[in-house]
């Protein structure tokens, strides 16, 4: 059997694996990345990237239509073909996947096609359609990612009952859909489908949409969704999903205890993602795995020395940017051990520095302590809010729904957390995140001159609210 030797062998070319490979190469390590599908992982191929393409087109379509109607233009969308929308999203995914291939090549990272299995603590056996090869690595990084989670009784057939993957790969638009789960994935699809005219019903077990986000931000999103004609049921327990006469029928116990059946052309099950940790040889190596997630310590090293695990297969938030950062930390630590380069600055990602982002309209982005978490911890904090209505650009560009919400320490002005809901939130959040991690306080943010008119002014104003001296409210 063919054998090759590397400093580090990485299983999976998603946003964790390919970034780890490039970082390792930058630090002088020889690296191989094993991938069974297209490089870029779920994120690029069947996740973040194609969904952002769909969201962008949905937003142009929806807002463009509304705007043209408002100014009296006659609109005829009869030639509309969703398959063309879909094709654009595939084009974006393919382009970026090729980009990853180019980046790996440019950095002399070996991309090995096939399914890799850890054969021992220093090697991976790759099977590419029957052709087998052994890759030896002084260190291994497992970055095999995740797949849509299946729920017992809610079997995904990708024909009528879809996962996010099935929906992203679907060329046709359903006339109606019932979406199970009002997390980021469910809400983003709800937004896209509704914008193109689908009848959308969202069912959420917890008491708010976007359960991981600030309750006030979630409320603003829910209101916007309801005004677009979606049906949303929170605190609603889905009990059964069956296909009856080619339709998806979901039996749900609603908040008031009454039973309801929602029938639609399709159903989307968006209840989280499950780690891909089966059949890759973990068991024989004695890695500690809890409910499918690999346990990691400092630098994302597993319980087996020299084997690292990053991304969706670990217990950290299942976000592409978390996987990438963990990949950099792991690669830097391996280079530190093998080449004596400096240790990574952080041993692990501080969970309070991870931004979360939801890309529907209005967008939601947040980091750090939420109001609820702060109360649970008994932290001393105050809240500053600034509404989008007070931001000149938000009004001028017709996106006046939203707010900037800041949690800060009353004695020092330290920024403990933030949630922004509204246009541009997923981009503007980083000013506050950078300020917080660099230990700037409300004062420094308030004193920084913000260009007028921009949506970022809302951040400056919110900081001023915290200091009791906002101008535009």
Q: Least distance to other proteins from the beta carbon of 7, Å?
A: 17
302 binds other proteins (CB under 8 A): yes
Q: How far apart are CA 171 and CA 194, in angstroms?
A: 16
If you search the block for the tokens 């913000």, which residue do you land on?
450
343 binds other proteins (CB under 8 A): yes
Q: How far apart are CA 269 and CA 240, in angstroms?
A: 12
Q: Least distance to other proteins from the beta carbon of 285, Å?
A: 13
Contacts of 163 (CB under 8 A, 6+ apart): 147, 148, 150, 156, 268, 269, 270
298 binds other proteins (CB under 8 A): yes
- The region of 259-267, 386-394, 420-428, 442-450 touching other proteins under the rule CB under 8 A is 442-450
Binder among 351, 395, 396, 434 for other proteins (CB under 8 A): 351
451 binds other proteins (CB under 8 A): no
Draw the binding track, 422-441, toward other proteins (x: CB under 8 A; -: no contact). --------------x-xxxx
Binder among 244, 377, 395, 396 for other proteins (CB under 8 A): 377
382 binds other proteins (CB under 8 A): no
Q: Least distance to other proteins from the beta carbon of 267, Å?
A: 37
Q: Phi then psi for 361, rounded to 5 degrees?
A: -105, 120
338 with 29: CB under 8 angstroms?
A: yes
337 binds other proteins (CB under 8 A): yes
286 binds other proteins (CB under 8 A): no
380 binds other proteins (CB under 8 A): yes
How many residues line the site for other proteins (CB under 8 A)? 43
Query: Measured at the alpha carbon of residue 125, what is the angle toward residues 143 and 293, in degrees to the nearest 5?
Result: 30
Binder among 68, 261, 305, 434 for other proteins (CB under 8 A): 305
346 binds other proteins (CB under 8 A): yes
Q: Output DSSP code: residue 235.
A: S
Q: How far is CA 132 from CA 240, 265, 367, in A?
A: 44, 44, 44
Q: Output DSSP code: residue 313.
A: G
Q: How far is CA 100 from CA 86, 239, 466, in A?
A: 21, 42, 43
Question: Is the Cβ of residue 133 or residue 346 nearer to other proteins in the bound state?
Answer: 346
Contacts of 26 (CB under 8 A, 6+ apart): 107
Binder among 190, 210, 322, 416 for other proteins (CB under 8 A): 416
450 binds other proteins (CB under 8 A): no
Contacts of 75 (CB under 8 A, 6+ apart): 65, 68, 69
138 binds other proteins (CB under 8 A): no
417 binds other proteins (CB under 8 A): yes
Peptide bond into 146 cis (omega under 30): no
Can you spell out the DSSP letters for 319-359? -HHHHHHHHHHHHHHHHHHHH-PPPPS-SS--GGG--EEE-
295 binds other proteins (CB under 8 A): yes
Binder among 36, 443, 453, 472 for other proteins (CB under 8 A): 443
Rounded to whole angstroms, the maximal C-alpha distance in the chain is 72
452 as an active site residue: the answer is: yes
Question: Is the Cβ of residue 147 or residue 347 nearer to other proteins in the bound state?
Answer: 347
Q: Phi then psi for 267, rounded to 5 degrees?
A: -125, 145
Q: Least distance to other proteins from the beta carbon of 65, Å?
A: 42
414 binds other proteins (CB under 8 A): yes
- The region of 27-35, 52-60, 134-142, 350-358 touching other proteins under the rule CB under 8 A is 350-358
- The region of 9-17, 185-193, 262-270, 297-305 touching other proteins under the rule CB under 8 A is 297-305
- The region of 220-228, 244-252, 414-422, 424-432 touching other proteins under the rule CB under 8 A is 414-422
Helices (H) and strands (E) in the chain, counts: 14, 24
Burial string for 102-122 (b: 16+ CB within 10 Å, else e) reads ebbeeeebbbbbbbbbbbebb
Active site residues: 452
Chain positions contacting other proteins, by CB under 8 A: 295-299, 301-305, 336-337, 343, 345-353, 368-369, 377-380, 409, 411-414, 416-417, 436, 438-441, 443-444, 447
């Amino acid at each position: 059997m063919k054998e090759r030797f590397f400093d580090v062998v990485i299983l999976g070319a998603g946003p964790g694996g390919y970034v780890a490979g490039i970082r390792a190469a930058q630090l002088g390590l020889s690296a191989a990345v094993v991938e069974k599908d297209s490089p870029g992982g779920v994120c690029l191929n069947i996740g973040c990237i194609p969904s952002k393409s769909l969201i962008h087109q949905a937003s142009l379509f929806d807002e463009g239509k509304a705007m043209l109607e408002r100014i009296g233009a006659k609109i005829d969308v009869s030639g509309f073909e969703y398959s063309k929308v879909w094709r654009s999203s595939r084009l974006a995914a393919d382009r970026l996947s090729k980009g990853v291939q180019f980046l790996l090549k440019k950095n002399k990272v070996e991309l090995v096609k096939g399914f890799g299995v850890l054969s021992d603590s220093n090697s991976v056996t790759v099977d590419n359609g029957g052709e087998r090869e052994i890759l030896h690595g002084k260190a291994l990084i497992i970055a095999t990612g995740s797949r849509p989670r299946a729920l017992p009784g809610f079997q995904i057939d990708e024909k009528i009952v879809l996962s996010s993957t099935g929906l992203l790969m679907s060329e046709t638009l359903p006339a109606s859909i019932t979406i199970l789960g009002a997390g980021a994935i469910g809400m983003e699809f709800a937004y896209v489908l509704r914008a193109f005219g689908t009848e959308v019903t969202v069912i959420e077990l917890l008491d708010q949409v976007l359960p991981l986000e600030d309750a006030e931000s979630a409320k603003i999103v829910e209101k916007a969704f309801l005004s677009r004609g979606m049906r949303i049921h929170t605190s609603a327990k889905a009990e059964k999903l069956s296909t009856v006469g080619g339709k998806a029928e979901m039996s749900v116990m609603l908040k008031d205890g009454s039973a309801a059946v929602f029938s639609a052309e399709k159903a989307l099950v968006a209840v989280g993602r499950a780690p891909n940790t089966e059949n890759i040889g973990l068991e024989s190596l004695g890695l500690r795995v809890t409910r499918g997630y690999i346990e990691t310590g400092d630098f994302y090293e597993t319980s087996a020395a020299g084997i690292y695990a990053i991304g969706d297969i670990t217990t950290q938030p299942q976000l592409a940017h978390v996987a990438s950062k963990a990949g950099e930390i792991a690669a830097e630590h391996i280079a530190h051990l093998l080449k004596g380069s400096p240790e990574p600055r952080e041993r692990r990602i501080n969970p309070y520095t991870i931004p979360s982002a939801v890309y529907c309209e209005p967008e939601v982005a947040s980091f750090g302590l939420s109001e609820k978490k702060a109360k649970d911890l008994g932290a001393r904090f105050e809240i500053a809010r600034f509404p989008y209505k007070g931001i000149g650009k938000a009004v001028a560009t017709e996106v006046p729904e939203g707010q900037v919400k800041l949690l800060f320490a009353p004695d020092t002005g330290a920024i403990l957390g933030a949630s922004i809901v509204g246009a541009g939130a997923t981009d503007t959040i980083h000013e506050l995140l950078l300020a917080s991690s660099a230990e700037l306080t409300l004062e420094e943010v308030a004193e920084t001159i913000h260009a007028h008119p921009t949506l970022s002014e809302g951040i400056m104003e919110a900081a001023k609210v915290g200091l009791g001296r906002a101008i535009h409210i």
